Amino acid sequence: MKPSRSAAPPLTRLPRTLRSAAALAEAGLLPHDSALEAVGARYAVAVTASLAAKMAPGVPEDPIARQFLPDARELDDRPQELTDPIGDNAHSPVPGIVHRYPDRVLLKLVGVCAVYCRFCFRREMVGPGAETTLSDEVLDGALAYVAGHPEIWEVVVTGGDPFMASARRLKELMARLAAIAHVKIVRFHTRVPVAAPERVTAALADALRVPGLTTYVAVHANHARELDGEVRAALARLADAGIALVGQSVLLAGVNDDADTLARLFRALVEARVKPYYLHHPDLAPGTAHFRLPVERGQELMRALRGRVSGLALPTYVLDIPGGHGKVPIGPGYIEPAPEGWQVTDYCGEVHTYDPLAYDPLAGDPATEP
């Protein structure tokens, strides 16, 4: 017998955010199930009314629902999964800072999000039990670290979701970063424009603009249905304020693991003035095996998109090496050594020979000689 469902109230009457499996069940988005309650007890749950309205009630395979609704499979930990899959802790010289690459650092401003993705690589570190925002003392120490390392050119503000902080707090942070002469770029990683577009106000956009700094916002979206009119309007408020937008997506089984779905997503982002930046292979976070797929499948998808989707709409397919060793591109290869020069495969699968030594720039190209 299937678990019973409650009759769903109109989504317009839902509270702004549903924060438990029980609340999601009362809204008709989940069955009443003790296993789902156990998932919610272990990992944070939050689904905004905006995202709930995009879901097909009672359809767990819906690509929006699959990303945000608790799933009993999250309790299935695998031996290779890690509580800190990308090695934040190993590269944290002071609280609030992760310094993995020479010229940039992560600043973990907050520990909460507007919505909790079920595949999150920081799922063991974020949520209601986490520090809501860095204390003044910890933030002072983090910014002192940045100021004391002149090689730091970029500060990536993350969390949690930094757009959960108030516009006033973000404006104060930007002013303090602008006072550090060697910091030139500030990048915010956020789900808020998709999960809670009403938070992207003119005041927030204004807070991100400070003389002496260039601001980027990396927006996380995994399916074109996430980008409805309200979300596009929120993104336009940022773009119209002169803020550069890039897109980050995660390749997820059952959500976007086919070429047509990815093409629609990437085109929708470009139409909203967001340049697709990274397509992440899923990280080895606990309880996320049902989202992962073989690297070979991701390479097949990227090969299928090459040449059929504008270069503006193609991100780099990357793997964040477990243990904190950084991101590397893992897309398909198109060129390999041949006895004479190189063998190059085009986007249609046809193979061509390229021999750079056959073309003498001083003598000219024989094919064009009169």
CB atoms within 10 A of CB 294: 10
122 Ramachandran zone, left/alpha/beta (phi>0; psi -120 to 50): alpha
Q: Is residue 101 among the annotated active site residues?
A: yes
| Residue 100 appears among annotated catalytic residues | yes
Q: What is the pLDDT of residue 359?
A: 57
pLDDT (0 to 100) of residue 86: 92
Residue 255: how many CB atoms within 10 A of its CB? Answer: 22
Query: Which of these is catalytic: 54, 66, 100, 232?
Result: 100
Which one of 113, 123, 161, 187 is the catalytic residue? Answer: 113
Whether 348 is a known active-site residue: answer no
For residues 338-361, one letter each, b for 16 or more C-beta atoms within 10 angstroms of the residue's C-beta and e for the rest, the string is eeeeeeebeeeeeeeeeeeeeeee
The CA R_g of the chain, rounded to the nearest whole Å, is: 23
Helical pair 259-271 and 295-305, crossing angle rounded to 10 deg: 60
* Residue of 54, 122, 187, 237 with catalytic role: 122
Task: Choose the catalytic residue: 71, 120, 161, 232.
Answer: 120
pLDDT, position 355: 87
pLDDT for the residue numbered 196: 97
Catalytic residue among 84, 88, 161, 320: 320
Q: Is 122 a catalytic residue?
A: yes
Helix (H) or strand (E) holding 335: strand 335-337
Please pick, among 54, 117, 123, 232, the residue that the annotation labels catalytic: 117
Of the residues 19, 104, 264, 275, which is catalytic? Answer: 104
Q: Is 117 a catalytic residue?
A: yes
* Residue-level pLDDT at 60: 78
The angle subtended at Cα 232 by Cα 317 and Cα 308, nearest 5°, is: 40
Long-range contacts of 23-32 (CB under 8 A, 24+ apart): 24/69, 24/70, 27/52, 27/57, 28/57, 28/58, 29/55, 29/57, 29/58, 29/65, 29/69, 30/5, 30/69, 30/70, 31/2, 31/3, 31/4, 31/5, 32/3, 32/4, 32/5, 32/6
Tens-digit pLDDT string for the chain (370 aa):
344 444 444 444 555 899 999 999 999 999 999 999 999 999 999 999 999 999 988 787 899 999 999 999 999 999 999 999 999 999 999 999 999 999 999 999 999 999 999 999 999 989 876 656 789 999 999 999 999 999 999 999 999 999 999 999 999 999 999 999 999 999 999 999 999 999 999 999 999 999 999 999 999 999 999 999 999 999 999 999 999 999 999 999 999 999 999 999 999 999 999 999 999 999 999 999 999 999 999 999 999 999 899 999 999 999 999 988 999 999 999 999 998 889 999 989 999 999 887 655 555 555 544 4
Cα 305 to Cα 136: distance, rounded to the nearest angstrom: 46
Provide DSSP, 151-174: T--EEEEESS-GGGS-HHHHHHHH
33 is catalytic: no
Q: 114 Cβ partners below 8 Å, 6+ apart?
A: 17, 46, 48, 161, 163, 164, 191, 192, 195, 196, 199
Tell me which of 19, 73, 101, 267 is the catalytic residue. Answer: 101
Residue 97 · residue 107 · CB < 8 Å: yes
Determine the pLDDT at residue 129. Answer: 67
CA distances from 330 to 281, 283, 296 (A): 9, 14, 9
Is 354 catalytic? The answer is: no
Q: Is 62 a catalytic residue?
A: no
The reply to whether 283 belongs to the active site is yes
CB 231 within 8 A of CB 203: no
Q: Return the pLDDT at 4.
A: 40
